[in-house]
Chain A
Amino acid sequence: MSTKPLLEVQNLAVHFPVESGGLLRKQVGLVRAVDDVSFHINAGETVGLVGESGCGKSTTGRAIMQLIEATSGRVLFEGKDLRQMPHAELTHARRNFQMIFQDPYASLNPRKTVGDAVGEPIKLFGTAGGKSVNERVQEVFHMVGLNPRYIRRYPHEFSGGQRQRIGIARALAANPKLIIADEPISALDVSIQAQILNLMTDLQEQLNLTYLFISHDLAAVRHISQRIIVMYLGKIVEVASYEAIYSSPKHPYTQALLSAVPIPDPVVEKQRRRQVLVGDIPNPINPPTGCAFHPRCPLAMAHCKTVTPKLQQTESGHWVSCHLYDK
């Protein structure tokens, strides 16, 4: 393991108050979208963050990006806490961590040409490296496999896959170290998904990027990630290398998630036993007591209802939050 992680998230929590309507706005509840989440990402690594919709994975990504104000915790980027940074310093530091958004239609300004969109971070941070902004834009377009002749066009003239390439180009233009990819492929056709994933891996090798790859799609995450974080209801339930997650998932939730992934081999696929989770993800305003997963857990025990499990290390680098592994 290298010395210092590029990004370190410590006890991050994002709580949204639920307010009643009317004049006085009484707080009637609290959504713990992200609750006590800690993890780190080393330079050059790809970490996958998976979970059902509503589990807080996107909120985690946006809280790291400082797009949402976290309630508590620390977000250390190269050792500096982004949450404590003065506004101006943070704005300047943003060149080092960029984001790729889920919806390639909503993430581009409809009134700006795509060349202007990609050129903006270059102008803001002066990352042209001696070249003119235009030359650098063309270079970045080339990197993501887009024809540089299209730079004067507007976003609505591109397909979803092309738009996502533009989104990636915009993130790359600032020359960042870390890219947080928030479900970058889930809005795309399956055939395009593979292209974008391959593009992202190629770019990682070329530019020595670090990714936090957020997705609900385990199959996509396995393509790209070295380590995987599984979240459930705002909490981390399991962290492990991707081999460990796939060969020996520990948490019953991870096991259920994995059993839902089809295997592209008909013989093996026939023998696949699907472990279907019953019930919906619980209401985060009023989460279950004890282990949040216990109402849906096939292996729940009596004290799962009362005692909240802690994230503990079972093997080297394999962390799980489940009473089954209590020593």
Chain B
Amino acid sequence: MSAPNIANCSLRELRTLLDENKISAPELAQLFRARAKQYSHLNAFLRINENDDYHPAAGNFLDSLPIAHKDIFCAQGEKTTCGSKMLAEFVAPYDSTVVENFRNAGMNTIGRTNMDEFAMGSSGEHSAFSASRNPWDENYVPGGSSSGSAAAVAARLTPVATATDTGGSIRQPAAFCGVTGIKPTYGRVSRWGMVAFASSFDQGGVIAKSAEDCALALSAMAGFDERDSTSLPQPAEDFTRQFDQPLSNIVIGVPKEFFSDGLDNKVASRVQEAIRQFEKQGATIKEISLASVKHAIAAYYVLTCAEASSNLSRYDGVRYGFRPTENNDSDLTTMYEQTRTQGFGAEVKRRILIGTYMLSYGYYDAYYRRAMKVRTLIARDFEQAFTGCDVLLGPTTPSPAFALNAIADNDPVAMYLQDIYTVPVNLAGLPALSLPCGFSGALPVGLQLIGAPLAESLLLSVAHEYQKQNDYHLQMPAGVQ
């Protein structure tokens, strides 16, 4: 089997290759590492491991299979940069639960993937190190903030990659790169050791080629963790447990608000085609309304910026991380100012400023408190929707990937609107995934499925049924074949 063919294998196929000794674990990792180096111009990886990094866990399905980690998960003794100059030289003194879980499953870490700085961004262009490129067209962005994880899976540089999603950071790049990505219910994956952006939104998840691969990886990743007070008490589960059930009992709700004026025609067509396929497979389609989601973007940016302004206060140059060498003898305030002025990028500074303002005396009620009310309303809208539907469906993004540098740095709102269909889910803490549903020219289009709390297994099984009927998720960008 050729290297590209092996690289395009599912986790089950790779498991079989290993079990039948068609390839050894070190050879498999080497194959992906070599590809990662070969396609390094995609800037999907920030660092590629030179050596194997795993402890065999015989009997575990994931044992010896390669994985890449978004550079937001701490791993003891390793750099964890979070895409920022602030943490460019930071070596984590402890393991995140996510890294620990995959290590316990025996997975072999092949490297660290690129990301928008502190997970703030929707294009990958806000990485302090380099902008990742979309493997389907290198002049286009892969989306963000999990830009490197999505690009790496799309280019078949790793079979699976960890990612995080605060307002769409798993689903939007998965959509732009033609791969499958799931953001679980808030609290399912431990945040211990995952660098915080907005704590009440941040949720770890995975990006892989298919829903099945996502389910297999997520089964090792999720589960209660006493070190994270917001962790849900649900134990780990086998997320493939609902697979291979017919869709005839499934009611899919289609929120009309997700087909608003800003939606690209071709994206709309692909999503309509997906709806027809689900219908053909026996699902019942029902139009619904989520009246409050029109306020989602505003509420989302108020709340996430507020939390970020506080979460990022710890980067003060005192204990670890970046601290300018000049001005070292001056006063404390200058040290703070220079550390944060030079250590943070423009987008991060913008959000810290917005958040600081929102929380300031006299503004708190008008912004933060009101946004919290909107958050409650949106959660209620979803709750209501799930009384009559099993799954909600819509486009993941309003358009396919846009060109690099297409959205100017001085027009942040245009960038923020990229998240219009993804942020309502984070406000409500629900599980959602994005899977490829066709193309707009050369660029993939993503379909979003949203579930009720803890409905990951159902979501993944519905996506899996869809992927049984087409091969969008198996198509490889021409440049990496």
The answer to whether A and B belong to the same complex is: no
Binding site for B on A (CB under 8 A): none
